[in-house]
């Protein structure tokens, strides 16, 4: 049993106005440096959970009850001004539709400089250095030609990398990625997945990786939580979920997979566990 403090510990119920509860008593913990996969089918409440943690539900007329303790602070109870200092700085967020998340009228550089300026001050050389470093960390060209481009002048895969670069610009201790590969082709999907693994290892940042696809999370995550109709029905290490699924829904998911043995072998638990304080 790991005794280190979790980075994030949530216990939340969430609903939207005029609708019965979407998430019921969802309890999860993420350890520092851990990659936790959250898997569930469309409509199970995955994005709702991501937005609830960052308290971004109000615009959607949603409401969360419970607690989300992040490094000693309850995000649900914090003042909005305090939360603004955490969003984008201590917790990064990457969404699923890269091109609609970027402003089409502004150059990539302008948008990245703005993201830097939201949480940092300093001379323009420092700003430029941080932005170029972030671009390099996601394997994008770290040069002025790229910074001068508009979103319409880059590919969707590059746009997703820009958003990831913006999310890691301030080296957050937690990155929440909500289906970040769903708009991408298979090859680009696997490159982006590998990129999350690299950022986790190199920057030691914890990741809550949300997906409807159990197969993709298997290669990235230390543990997987299965969300079904607003309830976490099972949460465990990758080998455990694939080898010994307990809940009937998880069993159905695993049985629908093509080749479980190959998947378990691919799971990075053994490789990555040493670098993260993974709860058992």
Output phi, psi for 270, to 5 deg: -65, -40
Show the tokens assigned to 199.
Answer: 């950022």
Q: Are 238 and 223 in contact (CB under 8 A)?
A: yes
x/- map, 210-249, ligand ATP, by CB under 6 A: --x-------------------------------------
Q: Which is nearer to Mg ion, 40 or 92 (CB)?
A: 40
Taking the complex as a whole, the smallest distance from the CB of residue 229 to ligand ATP amounts, in Å, to 9
Q: Which is nearer to Mg ion, 46 or 170 (CB)?
A: 46
DSSP 149-183: --GGGS-HHHHHHHHHHHHHTT--SEEEEESTTTT
Taking the complex as a whole, the smallest distance from the CB of residue 42 to ligand ATP amounts, in Å, to 3
x/- map, 24-43, ligand ATP, by CB under 6 A: ----------------x-xx
Helices (H), the chain: 46-53, 80-86, 98-101, 108-117, 124-137, 144-147, 156-168, 186-203, 214-218, 238-243, 248-255, 260-266, 269-273
Show the tokens assigned to 167.
Answer: 């999310």
Give the total of residues touching Mg ion (CB under 5 A): 2
Task: Select from Mg ion, ligand ATP, none the partner in contact with residue 69, using the beta carbon and a kind-dependent cut-off of 5 to 8 Å.
Answer: none
Taking the complex as a whole, the smallest distance from the CB of residue 39 to ligand ATP amounts, in Å, to 10
Task: Select from ligand ATP, Mg ion, none the partner in contact with residue 237, using the beta carbon and a kind-dependent cut-off of 5 to 8 Å.
Answer: none
Among 10, 22, 193, 225, binds ligand ATP (CB under 6 A): 22
Stretch that binds Mg ion, among 44-52, 146-154, 226-234, 243-251 (CB under 5 A): 44-52
Q: Which is nearer to Mg ion, 47 or 200 (CB)?
A: 47
47 scored as a contact of ligand ATP (CB under 6 A): yes
Which positions ≥6 away from 12 have C-beta within 8 Å?
23, 25, 26, 49, 52, 53, 64, 65, 66, 67, 68, 76
Which positions ≥6 away from 120 have C-beta within 8 Å?
126, 127, 130, 170
Q: Which is nearer to Mg ion, 28 or 154 (CB)?
A: 28
47 scored as a contact of Mg ion (CB under 5 A): yes
Show the tokens assigned to 186.
Answer: 């298979």
Q: Are 31 and 37 in contact (CB under 8 A)?
A: no
Q: Which is nearer to Mg ion, 48 or 250 (CB)?
A: 48
3-state secondary structure of 12: strand
Query: Which residues contact Mg ion by CB under 5 A?
Result: 46-47
Query: Which residues contact ligand ATP by CB under 6 A?
Result: 16, 19, 22, 40, 42-48, 60-61, 212
């Amino acid at each position: 049993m790991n005794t280190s403090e979790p980075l994030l510990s949530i216990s939340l119920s969430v609903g939207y106005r005029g609708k019965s509860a979407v998430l019921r008593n969802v309890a999860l913990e993420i350890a520092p440096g851990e990659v936790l996969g959250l898997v569930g089918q469309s409509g199970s409440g995955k994005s709702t959970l991501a937005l609830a943690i960052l308290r971004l539900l109000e615009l959607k007329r949603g409401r969360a009850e419970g607690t989300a303790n992040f490094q000693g602070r309850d995000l649900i109870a914090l003042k909005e001004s305090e939360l603004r200092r955490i969003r984008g700085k201590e917790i990064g967020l990457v969404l699923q539709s890269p091109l609609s998340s970027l402003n089409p009228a502004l150059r990539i550089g302008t948008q990245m400089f703005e993201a830097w300026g939201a949480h940092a001050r300093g001379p323009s050389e420092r700003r430029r250095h941080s932005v170029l470093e972030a671009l390099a960390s996601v394997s994008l060209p770290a040069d002025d030609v790229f910074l001068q481009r508009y979103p319409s002048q880059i590919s969707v895969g590059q746009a997703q990398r820009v958003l990831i670069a913006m999310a890691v610009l301030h080296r957050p201790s937690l990155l929440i990625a909500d289906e970040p590969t769903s708009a991408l082709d298979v090859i680009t999907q696997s490159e982006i997945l590998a990129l999350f693994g690299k950022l986790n290892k190199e920057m030691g940042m914890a990741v809550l990786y949300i997906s409807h696809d159990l197969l993709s999370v298997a290669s990235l995550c230390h543990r997987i939580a299965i969300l079904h109709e607003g309830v976490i029905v099972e949460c465990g290490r990758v080998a455990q979920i694939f080898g010994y699924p307990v809940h009937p829904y998880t069993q159905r998911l695993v049985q629908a997979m093509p080749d479980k043995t190959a998947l378990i072998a691919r799971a990075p638990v053994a490789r990555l566990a040493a670098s993260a304080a993974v709860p058992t």
